Amino acid sequence: FVTQKALNIASTDDDRTRALGDLGISLSDLGAYRACRRPLEIVIAEAPNMLVRANGHLECLKIESSIGDRLAFERHRRALDGLRDRMPPSLVVDFHYKLGIEYHRLGQVHRGRAALDEALFTAMANALAVWRARVERARALV
């Protein structure tokens, strides 16, 4: 019902995508992981913008690791891997940062550490100081 309401309110495709993405993220923030899947799946399937689709997949990484669905997690990881060459450096860092955290949550500590190392390397190579500091804090915790 809420998803349909968000679709009815939106006047353009961009507004519709933004409303669905915001709805999915808000539901995720509330811990309603199963409910947030549908709006994010629509964003991933229908958003014309690659960055919007990639961000939908990034949110889904968190959701799937939170509920322990490793198959869905890997599906989103593979989709993001396929988009990586078209991502700006900051999104590549975000991808590896979130991947590292979520691998750690799934108990895959070595893979998580490797992903955080990749995030740090990319942040440093592209002079992304804020990301570098965030990744270094995360690495210190794992």
* pTM (two decimals): 0.86
Least confident of 5-9, 23-27, 93-97: 5-9
Does the pLDDT of residue 132 top 90, yes or no? Answer: yes
Say how many Å lie between the first and final Cα of the chain, rounded: 40
* Contact in structure between 142 and 109 (CB atoms under 8 Å): yes
Q: What burial letters (b/e) apply to 71-102, b meaning 16+ CB within 10 Å?
A: ebbeebbebbeebeeebeeebbbbbbbbbbbb
Q: What is the pLDDT of residues 40-70, one digit of tens each?
A: 999 999 988 899 999 999 999 999 999 999 9
- Chain mean pLDDT for the chain: 91
User: What does the alpha-carbon distance between residue 58 and residue 78 come to, in Å, rounded to a whole number?
Assistant: 11
pLDDT of 24 above 90? yes
